[in-house]
Structure 1
Amino acid sequence: MKALDNVCVEKISRILGELISGTELTRILSKNNWKDHDTETGIKSISTKWKRINASMLYEINKVKSPKPFFQFVEEVMTPVSFVNSEEGWYYNLKEINLILRFYGYEITDAGKIKIVKATETLSEAIKRSKSLIEKLEAHNIHTKVTEYCTPELLNENYFHAILEASKSVFERIRVLTFSNLDGNQLINEAFKINNPSIIINGNKLENNDEKSQYLGLKSLLNTICYIYRNPTAHSPKLFNEKNENDAIIAFIMMSMAHQQLDHCSCVRFIN
């Protein structure tokens, strides 16, 4: 961690100034007995909101020799309940503020609280850390049917539940394709019976070893997704680290591969 400087306070003040009204700003400053340079003389000034925030917070930081007042102000403005009708606005501003704070060894959590983190050293590192998982997945051309099932979890970087929800997309697609009520490995094994298939890969007639190998490869991929990411028992031994971003990316790549293969499949037998 390093001490907050004028650059940090000003940049974040500019962001926060766009998120609250002048009336709300006056209320917060008054409630906490913080210096309000626009009202203390009794003559209302016409300073912009961010300049009022900046002047007040720099004064309070210097007075107590601590960033605590500034952090308290940030937390009051960035309380999650204020963004219940603007989820996109919440994550955008959270990202912008954290991009700055991380240079000083802090960040705002999804609960709207400041915590200590490893300080960012370079701009490239800061940009990389500020990217959401959705943005990172874009580089891997993840199938849209994967992300549409778990966008809220991805925005929240809740990897464990994002993976679980995304895995459901694979099995729901097979159920819809086969008009089946089965689930998990039972669904896969019934749909991909090599001697009596319900689902076939278009153009694959299962007439030779290469075609059978391709077909069994898809079946194995689907079963693997089920065993590792879908079945509740697979979550107990933690076969993947629910907090590890790289593990999450691997999971999404596997599910994307499955959907890409299913794009070229057809149903030839409904499952009762």
Structure 2
Amino acid sequence: MKTFTQSQLQAIADALGDTDYGLTGSEIGHLLATVKIVDTDPQMTKRHRLYNAFASDQNSRKQRTHIIAFIRKAMKPERFARDPERFEPMRLNLNRALAFAGLAVKASGELAAVDAAETLSQATRRALELRSDLTSRGVHPDVLWFCREELLADNYFHAVLEAVKSVADKIRQRTGLTDDGAVLVDRAFSGDVPMLAINELKSESQKGEQRGFSSLVKGTFSMFRNTTAHAPRIRWQMPKEDAEDLFSMVSLMHRRIDAAIMPPRV
């Protein structure tokens, strides 16, 4: 029967017990009981508590089945319904550890077999290095969520395309419009009484800000969406730094659209 190495168990426990995004103490206790793993040291820190419980269980059973069951239950997306921003950072950390065992948690929460990583650089790429950088920047969670599959592949071309699409998606959700591109932006943000207003539109300065935001969104659509949609991927050279800057800009758009008001229309 397959087992985890000591270092793999330690890395898995470190990821699941991470101080910022890991499981809480009560969650650990509940999940251990659910999969019938003895909570050998409930008084210890989360990481050591998990490692000791996992190691004891695997040494006793001579297999990793119950630890796999723990991971599956811990990473069910529905568990994060009230705190969704925890899921992706936790999955990132966990996949770094699991990569060396030939496993990965998909965006759906499913645990799947993958080619085992042999070096830390491979594991880091597989575990969404780009997403980690974006999370540290405080990028809007809607941007990360919409781009999750592309970021898994470390694919800047398609990740940028999907990020920009997410802005149009958000505008359609807020307005009920079905248009796309510049037409969508004009219908949502233009006019004396726009469907969405990023401020109160009482002064010329505020009206100018509204027009500028509209131009920013349209320009982004044109530069990154239309160009990437029609250019062969191999010819669209985009370094990681540029991609991260774009994600930050798209994050700003999401925050402003989230906070936008819908002026009463007579």
TM-score range relative to shorter protein: 0.5 to 0.7
Deviation at 1:28, TM superposition (A): 2.9
In structure 2, do the counterparts of structure 1 residues 36 and 222 end up closer, same or farther at CA, with 3 Å as the change threshold? closer
1:28 aligned to 2:25? no
1:9 aligned to 2:35? no
Matched with 1:154 is 147
1:115 aligned to 2:112? yes
Q: Would you tell me which structure has more helix in proportion to its own residues?
A: 2
CA distance in 2 between partners of 1:47 and 1:30 (Å): 17
Deviation at 1:177, TM superposition (A): 11
1:104 aligned to 2:107? no
Deviation at 1:74, TM superposition (A): 1.5
In structure 2, do the counterparts of structure 1 residues 108 and 248 end up closer, same or farther at CA, with 3 Å as the change threshold? farther
The amino acid of 1:8's aligned partner reads Q
The structure with the larger Rg is 1
Matched with 1:193 is none
Structure 1: which 5+ residue stretches go unaligned?
39-44, 138-143, 181-220, 260-272
CA distance in 1 between partners of 2:64 and 2:149 (Å): 27
CA distance in 1 between partners of 2:31 and 2:53 (Å): 11
CA distance in 1 between partners of 2:49 and 2:144 (Å): 37
Deviation at 1:83, TM superposition (A): 2.1
How many residue pairs match? The answer is 190
RMSD, aligned CA: 4.7
Classify the secondary structure of the residue corresponding to 2:90.
Answer: helix
CA distance in 1 between partners of 2:23 and 2:188 (Å): 49
1:58 aligned to 2:69? no
Matched with 1:171 is 182
Classify the secondary structure of the residue corresponding to 1:85.
Answer: coil
CA distance in 2 between partners of 1:178 and 1:26 (Å): 50
Deviation at 1:6, TM superposition (A): 1.1
Q: TM-score, normalised by structure 1?
A: 0.51
> Given that residues 80 and 90 in structure 1 are in contact (C-alpha distance below 8 angstroms), is that contact kept between their aligned partners in structure 2?
yes
After TM superposition, the structure 1 = structure 2 runs for residues 230-269 of structure 1, keeping only pairs within 5 Å, are: none
Q: Residue 84 of structure 2: which of 84, 87, 98 is its match?
A: 87
Matched with 1:72 is 69
Classify the secondary structure of the residue corresponding to 1:115.
Answer: strand
Query: Identity of counterpart residues, as a percentage?
Result: 19
Classify the secondary structure of the residue corresponding to 2:107.
Answer: coil
Structure 2: which 5+ residue stretches go unaligned?
152-158, 172-180, 192-220, 250-266
Deviation at 1:99, TM superposition (A): 0.8
Classify the secondary structure of the residue corresponding to 1:57.
Answer: helix
CA distance in 2 between partners of 1:134 and 1:15 (Å): 16
> Given that residues 35 and 69 in structure 2 are in contact (C-alpha distance below 8 angstroms), is that contact kept between their aligned partners in structure 1?
no
Q: Residue 46 of structure 2: which of 36, 45, 49 is its match?
A: 49
Deviation at 1:98, TM superposition (A): 0.4
